Structure 1
Amino acid sequence: MSVIPQDPIWINETAELERLCERWNQQAAIAVDTEFMRSTTFFPKAALFQVGDGQGCYLIDPLAIDDFSAFQGVMRNPEVIKVLHSCSEDLEVFQTFMGQIPTPVFDTQIAAAIAGHGFSLGYAKLIEVLMNVPVPKSETRSDWLQRPLSKPQLQYAALDVAYLLVAYGLLRKQLKQNGRLAWVEKDCADMLAQAERGIDFDQMYLKIKSAWKLNRPQLAVLQALTAWREEEARARDVPRNRLIKEHALWDMARYQPTELKQISGLEGMTARILKEDGDTLLSIIAESEKLPEEACPLRLPKPLPPEQGDLLKSLKHFARETAVTLGIAPEVLVRKKDFEDLVRSGMENSDYSLNERLSGWRREVVGQGLLTLAQQWSAGQR
């Protein structure tokens, strides 16, 4: 293996970045990573963009460079694959800072899982597995917005992209050999599509635990409150639960208070919330209560009943056996929600169906078998 450049190269001038971008636009792939801070804010604050191109590890300073148009062009160049590891948060950094996400992307964590190296493998572990090279992680919780960055921070940031292109090459070779490269490309494309779609504020109530316990008018209140929290958290740039906690939203939806003193008695409600947002919350609740029931969200499904336990166990066993045959972790193929969606789809009339995640390559590999098993199980219960 040739010597891999590891020394950090600091880039804090637009002209130098533009020169590098001209070169990167000619490459088939580049390694990309970000460092950011988000301890007290809703949005991540970009502190560093790292690029590895096989010739160097470049650390781009967003606090010094005011024109990122050339870099944006590279990130959107369809001919240049951006190689990242576990990139969901990185995509958010790009979206927040540049108003766009990189595309196309090859996520080495997804690739490693499908190649059979383990589910949700960290970057350091991946490099150790593929290359037997230790990668220190001592600066993970550093203050990346400080300037100047310390020497250990600079080295850490450089190492985060130093080995990525080599890992990409090794994984791509393995995936081609076992016919799974298209699986990774599809999962990465789906991930980007989801990131591009963004979040529907009106669907945020679905993420609230125990929302299934609420009736339709109560869900209408919860829907309005969670949409308000999402909008306000973004506008004020504060974490959702710092603005108002999840269980407080659920309590308001359930009890539908009409006075401030009723809100003040709910767990997690602070004097600050009452003073700044109490009247607004009461107004949201009152407006939601005016909705006719047919205009309210449908009730959410309850937890699966015990009588579905045998089917669920059979489906999970089949998925585990399939995963063992393929030499990959079961979670790569089917997740908890996938099993539950399949079981729920046939509870009323045994007309089982697969959700979106079990379409594509997963349908052929495991989905059709799960579907057949569910149908056979249902026939045996009649």
Structure 2
Amino acid sequence: MTPPEAQPLIIDQNSLLADCCREWLQLPFVAVDTEFVRTETFFPIAGLIQIGDGERAFLIDPLAITDWSPLVTLLQSPNVVKVLHACSEDLEVFQHLCGALPAPLFDTQLAAAYLGMDFSMSYSRLVSSLLGIELPKDETRSDWLQRPLSARQLQYAADDTVHLAQIYQLLAPRLAEAGMTEWLLEDAADLVAAAQVMVEPAQAYRRVKQAWRLKPAELAILQVLCDWRERAARQRDVARNRLVREATLCPLAQRQPDSLQALARFEDMHPRTVRQDGQTILDLIRQGQAVPEAQWPQPLPEPLPADANRLLKTLRKVGQRQADRLGMASEIMLRKKVLEAMVRTGYPCGPYRLPDELTGWRRELMGEELLALANQFASKGESA
């Protein structure tokens, strides 16, 4: 728990936030966490922003602050490392709250994997492993938008950044000694870059899991439906699945109902959706049916066949050997999506090339070996 002499400071005035940010800009790092609510909305609603300076916790009230420019300056300062854990959702919070993302970023979950601890290690497990502290779980699903926040909520939130700073001070020197700090910062920068990219509504259909099963004429309908769903979800600030569940999208494009009664018979089609948007959905289906053949989307890539697993395993061993040599978690060395992207460049007969997804230090470390192995595999006819 936070020691009595370091009780958290609640920041609920613009002037106080500005003063604190000026002080934090002089530090080598700050620990950062967020508490938010995102049950029915498209965008996360920030309930609390926590900052730790290594000695004390500061709790920023997003419901009271109106000028975020000092925090933006801190988040974007190249001289202050921002320490977060498993930060993808936190990045969304900051992007929506103030239009800025933390950089340089040090993700302690990534750092743990780099140092050979479990891949995707939870924050509570990391605190337990490194600090010997068992975190309470009773506040993880609190209502962070209620006011006033309870004493237990405030203590829980404050402890998060106190412990996060302690973890950073343990992991950062070990990472530097292993010569992996720049690698970690490179990976973290990729996370920040990805968080800045919003899905183009016209391309949203490509993310639907079963879309590869559809014919081009059906994909034209799916594209129209997903375009509307993406735009409407953002405009109304509601979760995509509250409009139309993803599992319903492909059946809609395939069966193409032409009445509200037929629409209502779809599994997972909520009656609210039929009432509020049923006619719109029917109109969208007709719009998709009217797309000229020349404008139909191309078929999406099918999942790799089972035969490709032999090549995937061969390539995966390269990453495993390098991870073992460096004492890293093997999952972080070569991601599944990178391996699959490489196999797709030449399967089944080659020649293969390095995919765009293989970047930075991984490309330098393993690129030539992966390429040689893949093309050797093809020349032997093993992937046929």
Smaller-chain TM-score bracket: over 0.9
Map 1:307-326 onto structure 2 (within 5 A). 307-326=307-326
Please list every run of 5 or more consecutive structure 2 residues that lacks an aligned counterpart in the other structure.
none
Q: Which residue of 1 aligns with 2:280?
A: 280
Equivalent position of 1:194 in the other structure = 194
The residue that corresponds to 1:296 in the other structure is: 296
Per mean C-alpha deviation after superposition, the further-off stretch among 299-308 and 28-37 is 299-308
Distance 1:86 1:4 in 2: 28
Give the superposition deviation at 1:5. Answer: 6.9
Q: Deviations over 1:281-304 (max 9, x none)?
A: 122222222323332221112222
Task: Please name the residue that 2:351 is paired with.
Answer: 351
Does 2:211 match 1:237? no
- CA distance in 2 between partners of 1:183 and 1:359 (Å): 11
For 1:237, the aligned partner's letter is D
User: More displaced, 149-158 or 290-299?
Assistant: 290-299
- Which residue of structure 1 lines up, in the alignment, with residue 114 of structure 2? 114
How far apart are the structure 2 equivalents of 1:53 and 1:4?
16
How far has the Cα of 1:118 moved from its partner? 1.9
Deviates more, 1:136-145 or 1:303-312: 303-312
2:13 paired residue number: 13
Q: Which residue of 1 aligns with 2:73?
A: 73
Bigger mean CA offset, 4-13 vs 99-108: 4-13
* SS in structure 2 at match of 1:171: helix
Q: Which amino acid aligns with 1:51?
A: I
1-structure distance, mates of 2:177, 2:253: 54
Percent identity of equivalent pairs? 45
RMSD: 2.1
CA shift in 2, pair 1:225/1:237, >3 Å: same
- The equivalent residue for 1:173 is 173
Residue of structure 2 in register with 1:207 after alignment: 207
Residue in structure 1 matched with residue 158 of structure 2 by the alignment = 158
Rate the CA distance shift 1:148–1:322 in 2: closer, same or farther, 3 A: same
Cross-structure match for 2:59: 59
C-alpha distance 310-4 of structure 1, shift in aligned 2 (>3 A): farther
CA contact (8 A) 2:35 2:46 kept: yes
User: Residue 266 of structure 2 aligns to a residue in which SS?
Assistant: coil
Residue in 1 that maps onto 2:27: 27
* Kept in 2: contact 1:333–1:366 (CA 8 A): no
2:333/2:362 contact within 8 Å kept: yes
Question: What SS class does the counterpart of residue 120 from structure 1 fall into?
Answer: coil
In the aligned structure 1, how far is the partner of 2:124 from the partner of 2:26?
29
Partner Cα separation in structure 1 for residue 73 and residue 359 of structure 2: 32
What are the superposed Cα offsets for residues 213-239 of structure 1, whole Å, 9 maximum, x if unpaired? 101121121122112111111222221
What is the TM-score when the length of structure 2 is the normalising length?
A: 0.92
Letter in 1 for 2:190: D
Listed one character per residue, the Cα deviations across residues 51-110 of structure 1 (whole Å, up to 9, x for unaligned) are: 111241001111122222222222222222211111111111111111222222211111
Provide the C-alpha distance between the structure 2 equivalents of 1:234 and 1:293, rounded to a whole number of angstroms. Answer: 30
Equivalent in the alignment of 1:369: 369
CA distance in 2, matches of 1:64, 1:191: 29
- Give the Å deviation of 1:348: 5.6
**Contact 2:351 2:378 (C-alpha < 8 Å) held by counterparts:** no
- Is residue 313 of structure 2 the alignment partner of residue 339 of structure 1? no
Deviations 1:290-325 (A, max 9, x none): 323332221112222233232223223333333222
What is the CA–CA distance in structure 1 between the aligned matches of 2:367 and 2:125, rounded to whole Å? 30
Shift of 1:349: 5.0
Asked whether the equivalents of residues 110 and 120 of structure 2 are also in contact (C-alpha less than 8 Å), the reply is yes
Distance 1:86 1:228 in 2: 31
**What is the alpha-carbon distance in structure 2 between the residues aligned to residue 70 and residue 270 of structure 1?**
44
**Aligned partners of 2:373, 2:105: CA distance in 1, in Å?**
35
The 3 A distance-change label for structure 1 pair 253 and 29 is same
Matched to 2:152, the amino acid is P
Gaps in structure 1 of 5+ consecutive residues: none
